[in-house]
Amino acid sequence: MTDDERKMRHCYKLMLAAQTPDASYHHIEIWIDASNYQPVKTRHYAESGKLLKTAYFRHYQNVLGQERPTETVIIDALDPNWVKRDVPEAWLQRDYLARFKPD
């Protein structure tokens, strides 16, 4: 796959399916770099199969003893012009969706 910086990477692609009806997403596709097992990209889907958002994990640094992404770029599939970096933790919680209003 090509990452957000247009570099070719050999990745494993996994499909994660919701196990409960109250999960934030029906399913998530995740690409894991085969050389270091770091997440590269995710796609988040509604139950209808509609793509809701894409996230890229970037700028890995040693944090708490492990290489971790220090930046996450989120692209809203419903409005591709809306791109957010380093979102507040509250935005990632299902309960917050009803109150969410992008900048």
Report the percentage of the chain scoring pLDDT > 70: 74
Mean pLDDT score of the chain:
82
pLDDT of residue 76: 86
Residue 39 lies in a domain: yes
pLDDT digits (tens, 9 = 90+) for 28-51: 999 999 999 999 999 999 999 999
Q: What is the CATH number of the domain that holds 93?
A: 2.50.20.10
Domain encompassing residue 40: 11-99
CA–CA separation, 92 and 23 (whole Å): 12
* Length of the chain measured in residues: 103
Position 75 confidence tier, pLDDT thresholds 50, 70, 90: confident
How many structural domains are present in the chain?
Answer: 1
103 pLDDT more than 60: no
Opening angle at CA 57, ends 51 and 63, nearest 5:
145
Specify the pTM: 0.72
On the question of pLDDT at 100 being above 70, the answer is no
Q: Is residue 35 assigned to a domain?
A: yes
Residues pairing with 57 in the sheet: 72
pLDDT digits (tens, 9 = 90+) for 45-68: 999 999 999 999 988 999 888 898
* 5 domain residue, yes or no: no
φ/ψ (deg, to 5) at 51 = -70, 130
Whole-angstrom CA distances from 66 to 36, 61, 63 are 12, 8, 5
For 23, phi and psi rounded to 5 degrees?
-65, 150
Is 56 part of any domain? Answer: yes
